[in-house]
């Protein structure tokens, strides 16, 4: 929930900045109307960056991998014992 509040605060700040630019006419109006588009593109790039960073830092858990392989072996043995054909090993 705290993450949503942070995102909403950023959106409000950006909206206030954008409205201020529209009212003050510091930047030409043709550029100011493109700011929401730039924001959406920037948000998409940020999302892709976070996914990429998350994938690069994805933890490996060798102990969990061993336990998973053991569970798979147990499941295969159980299926064979009950007459289910699971294919080649």
How far apart CA 80 and CA 83 sit, in angstroms, is: 5
Note whether 32 and 22 are within 8 A (CB): yes
pLDDT digits (tens, 9 = 90+) for 15-50: 888 778 777 777 676 776 777 787 788 888 988 998
How far apart CA 13 and CA 17 sit, in angstroms, is: 6
Residue 81's H or E segment, with its range, is helix 62-81
For 37, the token pair is 């588009």
Model pLDDT, residue 72: 92
Which pLDDT band holds residue 1 (cuts at 50, 70, 90)? low
């Amino acid at each position: 929930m705290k993450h949503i509040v942070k995102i909403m605060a950023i959106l409000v700040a950006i909206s206030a900045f954008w409205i201020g630019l529209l009212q003050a006419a510091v930047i030409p109006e043709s550029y100011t109307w493109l700011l929401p588009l730039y924001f959406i593109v920037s948000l998409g790039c940020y999302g892709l960056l976070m996914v990429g960073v998350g994938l690069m830092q994805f933890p490996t858990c060798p102990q969990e991998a061993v336990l998973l392989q053991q569970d798979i072996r147990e499941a295969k043995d159980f299926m064979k014992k009950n007459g289910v054909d699971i294919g080649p090993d």
